[in-house]
Structure 1
């Protein structure tokens, strides 16, 4: 309730002030002890009061028992006390013989400042207590016995409410600080989870990149080995020397593929000392070797280069190599025997790549039966797109096939 119910939800108390400002579901032991002490004081004054004893005892109970609910319902408790106080002051034939109920007024006014949630309602309760003390002073209450000064009485009542309100403000500040710390901790945990998720996504992207690299290496190597092995099988009975030559090319292609695969896999292990003996990943500088190996496998390939070759970023260099490698593999697989032309245009801002194969024979189980994962052209397109490049691929009018790629020399334009 807004006029005296429990305040905002407090967490576990962090200090005595916060514990004091936290309203309970019912009276605590401390309220019972305070009420018992005030009741004893009021009964002793009632016995000495110049008025009928039953009335004095009834007023003693009315001015003491409300403190049982000062924390649960501070405003109704204060209102009941002030009401009985005014009635006694207006109707009593003589002033009391002691200080009651002034101590209870101070205590419940303090409770109103501390435990009433809404500020406006709390202020109204404090003003009502102050006004009541002023009224009873004007009616001569306490004048003959205690005789407190008018300003002193007002000071004590206003001071009790102010003390209660300041304690509540401090408790709320402490709770807000604790909530801020909890929010900051939650944000830190969320940031940590996001970082972990980002790391997992990075690992997944790296695995996908490795899978693409392995696809390119294995597809090219298996295709070369299959062609060479098929040629050796055809020649083993008629020309053993040429058959051995093809077998040697197949062995060299398989060995090179193993080196590249080992290089890609072991680069993930920063503690593997064997990495120092591995050759660097291939780039445009090794396209000539790639063309020669393809030519040895029986595919007529011509390499032409224009412009001035300049160093490329390693990732772009590898991407250019893989585009040529995949295109040669596809040409050998789908158009065996067809002539292939590889053009490298070393531009100032980008490197252009064009691989064109003419129409070839029908794929046979040796050259075209090595299987495909469907990652050829899509994989090339994705690889080029990552670096902000473009790739076009499609059939020619004469039955051939052309792949055109353009890779920027700078990797700053790479897509995320």
Structure 2
């Protein structure tokens, strides 16, 4: 590897390491100073400083503390400048000399909390924000997702997401950074954003990696923290179970070369039995304490997959019954549950029936690559090699994930005449 390439690799690694601390750093700054939008700008500047300095000097012993210190300096400078400007304007308005006042320094930072991320979640899910803005802002601030990644997760234009985030930041100016007394009303939004953060971590929608471990780990950690606060809430319990049951398969999702492996082809001896056992126990507890909600149903489906000793022993009729309930329970406009149901229909009633279900989803999912990928799989099961190959090629062209692209193109090439 050349010197330039090695330096670029070190810088990229430093950027990734620093970015993993961004939510905690942002939470610390907002708690100390307020000013959500200015704090986020300061955090981004600190991340850039880390990407420049850490490859040459080495990462500090306390990376999070370093980032908080650098971001605090940046934010303090901005606040001082803003206060000085405002005082000058006030002095001029009163026809007083400009040196009649001096800009007071911002409040001294309090000692860093062990973790402000959960409180940051509460703030981002403020009831004054629309549900769409709550989700977009939390994915940006807590999940660290880019505007483009959020847009892909929600199947909306990138400009729409950018507007939602900007509007949410403006609305949060002056909001107090603490856990609100009536924070339970924010729980549906909290659960939704944690699920989306985990989903992006489990299967990255873009880039060269199959998964973003930092997001998956952080989502599970925050779900555990919510479960400690609300151990009797069935949907909180079920969301944690769903994450654990899904994450339990991560070691088998790629082969020795790092290429994706489809669920029915995975080596199940590589699945994490401890995570599966914990997840199944949580699902059972959640189902006993209803009412049954979307996360309980998804977790129950994941448990049926994980408990099957082989792909052939998967209880597809039971999975289909759960999907029937899930499609009815899922929020309006959420098509992915219906896409999963189409696969279950195919496994129970044959690929032709599954393909008929995907035809009904064309209007809502449009050109989404996951619809094309499911259709390719079902066409392959139906014996339509040409149709499957074409659908795999369409799916590969529609994803920004390099591992997914390679996987889909390999599936297409295997069907070549």
- TM-score when scaled to structure 2? 0.23
What is the TM-score normalised by the length of structure 1?
A: 0.23
If each structure's helix is expressed as a fraction of its own residues, which one has the higher value?
2
Of Structure 1 and Structure 2, the greater strand share is in 1
| Bigger Cα Rg | 1
